[in-house]
Chain A
Amino acid sequence: MTNAAVHMEGQLHAPAHGAVATEAVHTKGQQHPIKLYLVVWGWLFVLSTGSYLVDYFGLQGYLRWSLILLFMMLKAGLIVAVFMHMAWERLALAYAILLPPIAVLVFVSIMVLESEYTHFLRVLFFASPS
């Protein structure tokens, strides 16, 4: 046990051949031209302007909501994929991080049903509907 622990420490800290190799590979793997970041930066500005203009021109209804969601998803995708380098990570890490938030969508659908039920009861028993 003690030996094993010491061995592990060695694995983690000593600049052994394996660790150095991974480090080098990794460093190389995250080298991208600065231009890529500038292009993404520009797109994030364009998309943010787009979502601001949705409000500025006072679009309403399904057009407003779908545009807001579209710009939001594109921005989030660019940030996660390029700025956070998720596009270049191994799929094992990407799926471990990106799949669990799907549970949030399930939670959303549960709470939509719940709040519509609450709203229905409030209209029925208390106030005048909005």
Chain B
Amino acid sequence: MAETVLTNSGQPTARLEGWRGIAADWASDQRAFKNVSWGKAMMWIFLLSDTFIFSCFLLSYMTARMSTTVPWPNPSEVFALNIGGKHIPLILIAIMTFVLISSSGTMAMAVNFGYRRDRVRTAILMLVTAAFGATFVGMQAFEWTKLIREGVRPWGNPWGAAQFGSSFFMITGFHGTHVTIGVIFLIAIARKVWRGDFDVERRGFFTSRKGYYEIVEIMGLYWHFVDLVWVFIFAFFYLW
């Protein structure tokens, strides 16, 4: 036990290149992720597990779509909107994509200003990100309402294969939940940034630990992941 602790000296060790570096970092009796805090490493590992969850949803959708003998509803038509008398295919989903990408952009800049200890700009950019996220969830609620009114159910729909509804509600519902949790997370951290918790190293309410500006980057990892998942949902569910 004592030796284990001693090897965790926290000193950055010499950095080897390529596979030798990976082997050296993993092989010895020490922490594998140097100069990455446990909070960041754990967020990455959580995101990896979340990747598998979304992969399983998309895989079950693929399996359902490939194995059914009933024609699959055309998403280009299903998600079309009439705007100003014009019939535009998939327009709502395109706008949602742009909203989410914009939120990723503001989040990335919030992380940057956080590391520069620019308290006000960081908080404002995080709140803008949260506003984009809330807009996205609102548009998704509109989309769900529209489809439910048109008769889409998890067990059937007017246009074709019954599995369309279950795949749609499962995949977009789970993604929307992630966005909603992200918005709450963003507002909570933005409040701490605004209040200056990370400048005075105020201790957290639940954990009694000091916070650092790194939490903004960890929060950002989660938010970019939500955007990343949407890239795959957009490609496979809406465009394919």
- Interface residues, chain A, CB within 8 Å of chain B? 1, 3-4, 7-8, 11-13, 16, 18-19, 21-23, 25-27, 29-32, 34, 37-38, 40-41, 44-45, 48, 51-52, 54-56, 58, 64-65, 68-69, 71-72, 75-76, 79-80, 82-85, 89-93, 95-97, 100-101, 104, 107-108, 111-112, 114-116, 118-119, 122-123, 126-130
CA distance A115 to B161 in the complex (A): 15
Which residues of B, 86-129, contact A by the 8 Å Cβ criterion?
Answer: 89-90, 94, 97-98, 101-102, 104-105, 107-109, 111-112, 115-116
Residue B239 at the A interface, CB < 8 A? yes
Q: Which 10 A-B pairs have the closest CB atoms?
A: A18-B10, A41-B105, A115-B66, A118-B67, A115-B67, A92-B25, A72-B235, A127-B69, A104-B55, A4-B1
Would you give the shortest CB distance from A11 to chain B, in whole angstroms?
A: 6
Q: Tell me if B44 and A115 are in contact (CB < 8 A).
A: no
What interface size band does chain B fall in? 35 or more
Q: Tell me if B227 and A21 are in contact (CB < 8 A).
A: no
- Interface residues, chain B, CB within 8 Å of chain A? 1-2, 4-5, 8-12, 15, 18, 21-22, 25-26, 32-38, 41, 44-45, 47-48, 51-52, 55, 59, 62-64, 66-71, 76, 89-90, 94, 97-98, 101-102, 104-105, 107-109, 111-112, 115-116, 209-210, 212-214, 217, 220-221, 224-225, 227-228, 231-232, 234-235, 238-240
Q: Tell me if B94 and A75 are in contact (CB < 8 A).
A: no
Q: Tell me if A18 and B11 are in contact (CB < 8 A).
A: yes
Q: Tell me if A93 and B44 are in contact (CB < 8 A).
A: yes
A-B contact count (CB 8 A): 194
Chain B contacts for A64, CB-based, 8 A: 239
